[in-house]
Amino acid sequence: MIEVEKMGKPAVPLVSGRFEGDAIASSRAFGMPNLKFVIVPRIYRNLAIEDCIKQTEDAFEDIVDTLTAVENSKNLFENKTADTESIYSYEDDDKYKCSLMMNRDLLDRDIGDGFPLLPATRETVNELLDGTSLDANEVVCDMPPGFGVATVEKIAVNAAYAGAKPEHMPVLIAAVKAFSRLGSERDPLLSGSASDNQGKSLLMSTSPQAPLLIVNGPLAKDLKINSKSALGPGKDNEVNIIIGRAFYLCLKNIGYWYPNEMDMDTIGTTRKFVQCIAENEEMSPWDPFHVDNGFKSNESTVSVFVTDGELDVQDQGNTEAEDLLKVLAYGCTFGTANIQSKGVGGGNERLILMPPDVAGPIGHAGEFSKQKAKEFIHKNAVGSLGKMTHYMPLEDARVDKGWQWMKNLTEDQKQSVEISVMNSPDDCYIVVVGADRAKTAVFPSGPAPSIIGIDEFLP
C-alpha cells in the first residue's frame, strides 16, 4: 500500500485486528507513518469466500471515511517509538531487589526476552566498547526488520543485557552487519540498501523463521564457541548462548522485532532464542564453510542463516558414503514447494549440520567432495509434487503461470510426479557440526546466508 501511495494513488489497507500493531510499526519503518488503514476482524488467507465478501462489505463505509477524511478520527496512529536514549535508574539498599526491579521494568517495556537481564551500566558498556576498534558512535548498518540505526554503542548495550564479554563484540558487530545484507550475496540486482534486505519479510512472517549464527576460523576456538553438541543449554554452550542472545536483543531493540508488531508468528519457535555455534573444522574431511565462500582458513567469519524448522535425521548403521547420503537426502524432503515463482524444483534451501560420524565416511573415502555430496543430495532429495503443492490451491492468483500445467493432472498423477525439494545443489549448505553419532540436523532455510569477516572489528 505504501508503494501504491508513492505512485500517487490513494490506498487503504484492510488489516485484521491482530495485525494493527504490525501495520503501525511497518508503515513507520517503511517511510509512511501516516498511512491510514481499516481494521477488519479476521485474516483473509484461510477465510471462506462468502466470509471474505461479508467482512469487506461491512468495512466499506470505513474505507470511504478513511479515503475522504482529512484526519483519522479513530486515532489508530498512536506514536509508538522505541526508546534507545533514556537512562533507567533503580534504587534500593538491596542490590538483588534492584535487579528484580530492573528486570520487571525492562520486561514491561518489552526490552527483555523473558529471562533475567544483566544491568547495562555505563561501566559495563564502556568495557564492551573496548572489545572493538570501532568508535562507539560509528554506524554499523540499519537493522532489519524495522531498520533502526545500529551503532556500536547500541550493540554494546544489548550485549551487556545478555552478559557478553568484550571479546564477543567483534562477532556481534559482524553478525549484525551480515544480517543487514541478507540475500544480497546471491542476487546481483540487490544494492544492499535497507529496503532490499530479504530478512525483513521473513522475520515479519507469520511462519517461525529465525536466525542461526555460525562462526568459522581461529576466533571460534579462541572464544570457546562449541562446535559439538552446540545447540542447547549447559556449560559447554555458555558462549553460544550469550552471543546468540545478544544478537536477538539487537534484532529486537534496534531492529524493532517486537512480538505483535513486526514479529507476527502464528505459534512461534524456540529457535528465536538465537544461538551462535561454530563449525567443527578439526573433524571435517572438507574445507570449512568460510573457505568455500572465498575466505582464507586463518580468517574468522560469521555466517547468518535464516531457518524455518528443524529435523533430526537418524542413521542407525549405514557406513558406506552413498547409503549415508541417501538417508540424509530422504530426510531433506519435508516441506512445501514454492509455486508462487517458476522453478525447476521445490525452491527450498537446506542447511545441513552434518556430524563428523557422517561427514567422515563420506569425505574421507575420496569419492565425494563436498560439492559432489551436495549434488547427490539434490538428486535424491525428491518428493511428491502433489503433496508438496497441496498447501495452496492452483486457482490462487499467486500461483505462477509456470505451474498452471498441474491443473490438467489428476490427483493421482500429481501424487506420482516427483520433484527435487531444491532448485539446485547450490541450495544445499553443508556445515560439519556435532559430537559422535550419526545424527544429522536439517533445517529448511533461505535466502542464501550472509557471511562477514570478523577480523576487521577486532581491537
**pTM (predicted TM-score):** 0.87
Query: Residue 281 falls within a domain, yes or no?
Result: yes
Of 68-77, 152-161, 256-265, 349-358, the range with the lowest mean pLDDT is 68-77
Q: What is the pLDDT of residue 247?
A: 97
Range of the domain at 406: 316-437
The C-alpha cell that represents 446 in the structure block = 533461505
Same domain, 172 and 32: no
Instruction: Give me the number of domains the chain comprises.
Output: 3
Torsion-angle region of residue 224: left (phi > 0), alpha (psi -120 to 50) or beta? left
Query: Residue 389 falls within a domain, yes or no?
Result: yes
Same domain, 239 and 327: no
Of 111-115, 252-256, 257-261, 408-412, the range with the lowest mean pLDDT is 257-261
**366 CB-near residues (< 8 Å, 6+ apart):** none
What is the average per-residue pLDDT within 174-179? 96
Same domain, 340 and 216: no
| Residue 58 or residue 192, greater confidence | 58
CB 386 within 8 A of CB 414: yes
CB 351 within 8 A of CB 431: yes
Same domain, 350 and 269: no
Same domain, 168 and 249: yes
User: Does the pLDDT at position 427 exceed 50?
Assistant: yes
CA-wise closest residue to 146 among 269, 21, 232: 21
Reduced to 3 states, what is the DSSP secondary structure of residue 263?
strand
What is the average per-residue pLDDT within 360-377? 92
Q: What is the pLDDT of residue 395?
A: 87
Q: How far, in Å, CA of 422 to CA of 358, rounded?
A: 21
Tell me the C-alpha to C-alpha distance, in Å, between residue 69 and each of 33, 65, 85: 17, 6, 35
Query: Residue 385 falls within a domain, yes or no?
Result: yes
Q: What is the pLDDT of residue 43?
A: 84
Q: What is the pLDDT of residue 260?
A: 79
User: Does the pLDDT at position 187 exceed 70?
Assistant: no
CB 283 within 8 A of CB 360: yes
What is the average per-residue pLDDT within 219-232? 96
Q: What is the pLDDT of residue 72?
A: 46
Q: How far, in Å, CA of 162 to CA of 248, rounded?
A: 9
Q: What is the pLDDT of residue 70?
A: 67
The C-alpha cell that represents 54 in the structure block = 461479508
Instruction: Find the radius of gyration of the CA atoms of the chain.
Output: 24
Instruction: Name the strand (E) or helix (H) holding 62.
Output: helix 60-68
Query: Residue 375 falls within a domain, yes or no?
Result: yes
User: Does the pLDDT at position 120 exceed 90?
Assistant: yes
Burial (CB < 10 A; 0-12, 13-18, 19+), residue 268, is exposed
